[in-house]
Each structure stands twice: as structure tokens, then as C-alpha cells.
Amino acid sequence: MRATNFNRLTPYLFLAPALVIMVLALLYPLGYMVYGSFRDWDPSQSLGESEFTGLANYVTLWNDANFRESVGVTLKFAVSVVSVEMLLGVGLALLLDRNLRGMSILRTLFILPMMIAPVVVGLVWRYMYHPTVGVFNRTLKSVGLESVDWLGQHALLSVIIADIWQWTPFIFILSLAALQSLPRSALEAARIDGATGWQQIIYIKLPLMMPVLIVTGLLRLIDAFKVLEVILVMTEGGPGLSTEILALRISRTATEFRELGVAAAMSNYLLILLMLLTLFMLAYNRWQEYRAAKAQRIMEGGV
């Protein structure tokens, strides 16, 4: 009896070290943050010394116009980069899904931006956007056009362009992989059924790619909500609050305004938002699996 109990516990014993590390590395900081978000907490204090304020931080934020503006900027940024990136990435994949000479080199070139460190991307774009010596304005000038105040008047658009440049390749390679794993004979059948190139894309390719596209889009969306470095380097959130996305506001609240409790509450808002997105993604996956399982059952049931 004892021996069997011990045997049954053995696997958990082996799992225990990993569990301890998980708790320490993942849950402790998270719990710390949640705990801190209920307190009026200054960096000079230890968390224990800070005063408990309940939901005050959350309520303040909810009514804070600047915070709301920041959420708005973040939403605008995330939604616009992801939709443009999806369009471009999927479009490019559809265009380049063929055996052209030098295709593999081209593909490698396409995914280069993704491999560059975000800080470097920010710096490169900041210099390219420079009002006088930047390559964009110099080019505009050389063809006799007015120069554009990229990081001033059009700051949000400029950071959106930079993000699109960096992350379209991500969508592109995943879409290309999805495209190339489509059943070839179904596409051939569509050609014989009389589908033109466009009709093949709309009726066959896109619907079959959809599961991959939805997951890719959600992953990208979650990532876009957390973007920090590129914008920090390019605009530092300015001018005004025009490019102050949430991640940036959180970091500034913590370091410049020294309000750790408020920053923690902000992080929690972001976390809840992302959690909802992730749950949606998981639910979608579960639904897919459920459908596959149902199909399997029906198949086994009747011949």
C-alpha cells in the first residue's frame, strides 16, 4: 500500500523542482505586481512600507484622460499595424508562392528586418525620418517636393510605418508556409473547375489558410500591444502624447513619475486586455480541435 502511494507520487516529485522555479520566476513577480497595484508605492519604499489604497490606482487611471489617450494610441497603433501587415504579408506570400529563380535569396532578404534588434530599427528609422538630413526628406527635396515633419506632425503614422517594415515579414513567412502546405491537388481541381487566379485565392486559398492567419494575426496583435523600444527610441512618446503607447507610459510612470503602484495597475489593465486576446485565441484553437474531433467521430460512426 505504501509502496503504491509512493510510486504514484514519484512523478510529482520529479516535477517539483520545475514547479518551484516556475512559481518563483513567473508567479512571484506577477503576484508582486498585482499586490503592488493596490498600494501607493514609491521606489524609495519597500513594498511593505507602502500604504494600502485598495482600488484607488485603478479608479484614478480609469478617470485619467492621459491614460485613456494612451490606451487609444495603443489601440490605434496595434489595429492599424496588424491590419496593414496582414494585408501586405498575405499579399506578398500569395505573390511569391511560386518557383522563381533566386526565390530563396529573396525570401531571406524579406525576413531580414525581423532579425534586427528593435533598438537598432528605432535608431535607423529615426535617422531616416530626420527633418533635414534624413533620407526621406532629402529625397522629397531632390524631386522638388515639400519636406514632411515625420516625427512631429505625423509621428504616429511614422512609427506605424516603421513597425510595418519590421513585422510584415513575420506574417509573410507564416502565410507562405501555410500556402505551401495547402493540398496541391485541391488547387489543381479548382483550376480544372474553371477558377481564375483570383477565384482560387478567394474561394480556396484564403479559406484554407484562415486558421493559420487568425492565429498569426492574434500573435502579432498581442505583440503590438507591448511594443516599446522602437517608439521609445524614435519619439519617446511625443510630440505630446501622440505616440505614447501603454508600454511606454508604464515605464515612464514607474521611472519618471516614481508611481510604482499606478504603473503596476496600468500593467494589470494591459495584462487583462492581452489575457482576453489570448483566451480568444485558445478558445478558437479549442473550437477547431472540437470540430476535428467531431469530424473524426462521424467518420468512425458511419462508413
> Which residue stretches of the chain are H helix?
2-22, 28-36, 56-63, 65-96, 103-115, 118-128, 135-142, 155-180, 184-192, 197-199, 206-225, 229-234, 246-255, 260-301
Q: How far is the CB of 289 from other proteins (least distance, A)?
A: 13
> Quick one: 31 or 183, whose CB is closer to other proteins?
183
> Quick one: 210 or 279, whose CB is closer to other proteins?
210
Q: Which of residues 253-292 bind other proteins (CB under 8 A)?
A: 292
Handedness of CA 198, 204, 205, 209 (dihedral sign): positive
**Distance, CA of 36 to CA of 34 (rounded, Å):** 5
Q: Which of residues 204-233 bind other proteins (CB under 8 A)?
A: 204, 207-208
Q: How far is the CB of 107 from other proteins (least distance, A)?
A: 22
Q: Does a cis peptide bond (omega within 30 degrees of 0) precede residue 113?
A: no
201 binds other proteins (CB under 8 A): no
From the CA atom positions of the chain, what is the Rg in Å?
Answer: 25
> Quick one: 19 or 292, whose CB is closer to other proteins?
292
Q: How far is the CB of 181 from other proteins (least distance, A)?
A: 12
48 binds other proteins (CB under 8 A): no
> Which residue stretches of 194-259 are H helix?
197-199, 206-225, 229-234, 246-255
User: Considering only residues 49, 51, 188, 289, which one is a binding residue for other proteins as defined by CB under 8 A?
Assistant: 188
Binding mask 157-186 for other proteins (x = CB under 8 A): --------------------------x-xx
> Quick one: 87 or 292, whose CB is closer to other proteins?
292
**Distance, CA of 32 to CA of 263 (rounded, Å):** 12
> Burial letters for 194-207: b for 16+ Cβ neighbours within 10 Å, e otherwise?
ebeeeebbeebbee
> Quick one: 60 or 199, whose CB is closer to other proteins?
199
**Distance, CA of 278 to CA of 222 (rounded, Å):** 8
302 binds other proteins (CB under 8 A): yes
> Quick one: 117 or 210, whose CB is closer to other proteins?
210
User: Considering only residues 189, 272, 275, 279, which one is a binding residue for other proteins as defined by CB under 8 A?
Assistant: 189
Binding footprint of other proteins, residue count (CB under 8 A): 25
Here the cell at position 255 is: 521611472
User: Considering only residues 199, 212, 228, 271, which one is a binding residue for other proteins as defined by CB under 8 A?
Assistant: 199
> Burial letters for 261-279: b for 16+ Cβ neighbours within 10 Å, e otherwise?
bbbbbbbbbbeebeeebee
User: Considering only residues 1, 100, 143, 299, which one is a binding residue for other proteins as defined by CB under 8 A?
Assistant: 299
Q: Which residues bind other proteins (CB under 8 A)?
A: 183, 185-186, 188-196, 199, 203-204, 207-208, 292, 294-296, 298-299, 302-303
